[in-house]
């Protein structure tokens, strides 16, 4: 049975009411973008779940962060998690479907760890299916939502399975003119293939798009120096 909570250095995530628990790739997503989102920008987290990404960004961010969550059990736990955090005054969450929700303004930065599998190995639980598989919110719909809610000079970040990244890059560019500005490829150990892509988009074409590789553990199962450095401000015992 998963631990009902996950303790970070400056906050705690309770997760017993959420289908999707705290996982390493989501933590990488939050830590990577916590240093990239402009400090005073207006931020939106689509599909906030436990509130993990909101809290990871809030630890280093100065502006307001908003989140939206469709699953009501997850939303209630999300509210509790941010309400007990040191940054509760700068955080606000909404219950509802982002496809039909009207926010009061545009956002400078949007972050999302979406349900991205679309029929890949459906889970037994309806709640887990909703969280993992894009039956409710497809990636194409997600791009429409991001386009509608992002300011003209804004940027967004997303976590995807490695095998879906190329399609997403092409669709984001052809449908809405989003340009990739940076990419992080993640693998578990040196022996493994990449399994996640973290993509950073804006509407401005860059002359050079850096691609970085991150390996979580070395061949002995110990965190690599790169991973430890990325997570040092968040993980206990690093």
pLDDT band at 31 (very low <50, low <70, confident <90, very high): very high
pLDDT of residue 2: 63
pLDDT of residue 116: 64
pLDDT of residue 13: 96
**Closest CA relative to residue 70, chosen from 105, 98, 43:** 98
The rounded distance, in Å, linking the Cα atoms of 122 and 203 is 34
Question: In degrees rounded to 5, what are phi and psi of residue 161?
Answer: -60, 145
Q: Are strands 91-95 and 65-69 parallel, antiparallel or unpaired?
A: parallel
**Closest CA relative to residue 94, chosen from 116, 64, 119:** 64
pTM of the predicted structure, to 2 decimals? 0.91
Arithmetic mean of pLDDT, 189-213: 95
88-92, 109-113, 129-133, 153-157: segment of lowest average pLDDT? 129-133
pLDDT of residue 1: 52
Per domain, the residue ranges of the chain are 5-231
pLDDT band at 128 (very low <50, low <70, confident <90, very high): very low
**Closest CA relative to residue 203, chosen from 143, 141, 156:** 156
16-20, 39-43, 143-147, 169-173: segment of lowest average pLDDT? 16-20
Arithmetic mean of pLDDT, 222-226: 98
Residue holding tokens 């955090």? 85
- pLDDT of 122 higher than 90: no
Q: What angle do CA 237, 58, 209 make, to 5 degrees?
A: 90
pLDDT of residue 7: 96
The rounded distance, in Å, linking the Cα atoms of 184 and 226 is 12
Top CATH class, 5-231: alpha beta
Q: Is-contact 160 200, C-beta < 8 A?
A: no
Q: What is the pLDDT of residues 46-86, one digit of tens each?
A: 999 999 999 999 999 999 999 999 999 999 999 999 999 99
């Amino acid at each position: 049975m998963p631990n009902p909570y996950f303790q970070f250095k400056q906050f705690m995530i309770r997760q017993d009411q959420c289908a999707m628990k705290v996982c390493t790739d989501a933590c990488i997503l939050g830590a990577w973008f916590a240093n990239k989102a402009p400090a005073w920008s207006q931020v939106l987290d689509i599909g906030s779940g436990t509130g993990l990404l909101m809290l990871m960004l809030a630890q280093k961010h100065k502006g307001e962060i908003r989140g939206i969550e469709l699953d009501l059990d997850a939303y209630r736990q999300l509210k509790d998690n941010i309400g007990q955090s040191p940054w509760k005054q700068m955080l606000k969450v909404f219950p509802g479907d982002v496809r039909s929700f009207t926010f009061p303004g545009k956002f400078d930065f949007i972050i999302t760890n979406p349900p991205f599998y679309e029929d890949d190995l459906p889970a037994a639980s309806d709640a887990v299916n909703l969280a993992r598989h894009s039956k409710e919110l497809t990636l194409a719909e997600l791009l429409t939502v991001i386009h509608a809610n992002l300011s003209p000079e804004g940027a967004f970040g997303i976590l995807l399975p490695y095998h879906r990244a190329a399609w997403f890059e092409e669709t984001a560019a052809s449908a809405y003119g989003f340009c990739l500005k940076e990419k992080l490829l993640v693998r578990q150990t040196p022996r493994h293939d990449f399994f996640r892509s973290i993509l950073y988009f804006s509407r401005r074409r860059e002359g050079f798009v850096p691609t970085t590789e991150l390996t979580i553990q070395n061949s002995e199962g110990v965190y690599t120096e790169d991973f430890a450095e990325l997570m040092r401000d968040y993980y206990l015992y690093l």
